[in-house]
Structure 1
Amino acid sequence: MTETASPSSEGHRTLPSPKISFEFFPPKTAEMEASLWETIKRLAPLHPTFVSVTYGAGGSTRERTHATIARILKETSLLPAAHLTCVGAAKGEIDDIVARYHEIGVRHIVALRGDPAGGIGTPFVAHPDGYKTSADLVAGIKRRYPDIEVSVSAYPEKHPESAHFDADIDVLKAKVDAGAARAITQVFFDNDFYFRYRDRVRARGIEIPIVPGIMPMHNFRQARNFVTRAGTSVPSWLAEKFDGLDDDPDTRKLVAATVAAGQVQKLAKHGVDTFHFYTMNRADLVFAISHLLGIRPAGAREAA
């Protein structure tokens, strides 16, 4: 990982720059695949600790996810993490998917229960022969492949289906007890949600990293609709920053970079040293934010 010096007078200690990871989604078309690989080529020199590839509802993108993961392993030095859900599949089918990943060299899985087949807001019904919860899925992976690292999800504003925060943290505790090594949060825009959540988690004796999930708002209106369905609140001050920019993508991009960079810099100021970026398969804002965090491509600092 690259290093960055604090704004310095001579003699100040050089501090390690934050650790970062990126999330991509599998492309649906040849054009989208070309765009994804341009993004990967742009971001790979930042040396993320891993990159994750999402998995559609009910396994709808299963083969595309596998193909993307396989290509990352073959053509890059990046460490890929494959998303996997419990939705719509028997245990044997999911176990076979994990076996395929293990065979090609994947050693990191992001294990999720997944959204209900009927969409967010509808009841979740487990497959009769499937894993019932994300904790069950974590346990199933670790039982067969102890060498696979498992990341799970966390919800600074509480999962929409949890009755209260204690119940929500019970779920996280079950995932940790099953073998989860890291939790990546749902998107949030108010850092106080993250800090309060982290305090609750630590008070319960949960010590795994709680990595903040950061989403630069390339298209504010679309992003707001997406994240609010998943239980993320969008503060009025944030909406106001994008007011009047629906038809001005260039300015919208500048505002989005400024907002997200401000968020991660404030988190870093309070000791957060790891970030997971939901890239939406776009490199520009994530690259800029990483630059502001002091993260440079290998050789860039020497060249400067």
Structure 2
Amino acid sequence: MSRNMYLVFFLVFIISPLFAQRNVKPDDATAAFLKKFRNDFVKSMTEGKPDIIHGYYGADIRLMTETQKTMIGQSNALLYLKAFHQRFIVTLYTREELEILDLGGRIVESGLFTEKLKIKSSAREVEIHGKYVNIWERTSEGKLHLITEAWNYNHRVDIIDQLLFPEVPTVNVAMQQHVPVKDNISFELAALNHFQEMVITAHDAKLWSQFYADDYILFRIGNPLYRGRKEIDGWLEIHVKELPVFEKLDIRNDRIDNLGEYVIEYASHIAIVRNGDWSGVSTGKDIRIWRREKDGALKIIRGIGMYD
């Protein structure tokens, strides 16, 4: 057995006390607030008025989507929204909430969206279906600020280049400093991520599956929603056969929100890959929500990822 396997098993023993899982259903006031935001978001999209939602944003909000590197801060978020509406007319936008998780200091809402876009320069129209995960911070006064908006698409988007806005400042988080390993949770996640690198590189679907809780929901890029053990295992069996050869895979994180029973990890990866005569380097970003299970194990319950 490798040293890395011993490290992961050791972690299980040092966190072995039983944990009682908390109720994560939001109260009525929180649910009503998020419903108002959804309505305002739809209005801002269809009317082309980003100022309608700008006031909801936290100072250091992250926008995370496909092809565009991470946008950080209120001003950059507003630049992105303005650039989007300068290029497109939104003829239809709908948003369907799937769930809201009240994790204490963070509220996580996930759902589905449909948008119909008309490119102003060509009058071409496209319809896009996707998934979103929003993370809200609850202040000590009980106020909610949106600190993360992440979304990807369920299918290949023909106009994906039109959804890239190079004039908006971005950060490639995969190339930034990762969280120092200085406490129990950063140590535990560093070990799990290192083991995950080995599992993915080996294309091992069975071991990969063990990172996920039985009620895991995956918001996978270019795919529909996957829910629960059966769907996740079925997807993994197919997915590992599609993967290239990994010459190097580095999974890291630049932020960890430790909420006790739940942990929100802002992760990224650098992959050096080859497939036949082709080779390349790619980066991507992820949000993973981990939950401490009753036996002390840390399992991923929700995940969304976007390639840069």
Query: TM-score, normalising length from structure 2?
Result: 0.22
Q: As a proportion of its length, which structure holds more helix? A: 1
Higher RCO by CA contacts (8 Å cutoff, separation 6 or greater): 1
TM-score, scaled to structure 1: 0.23
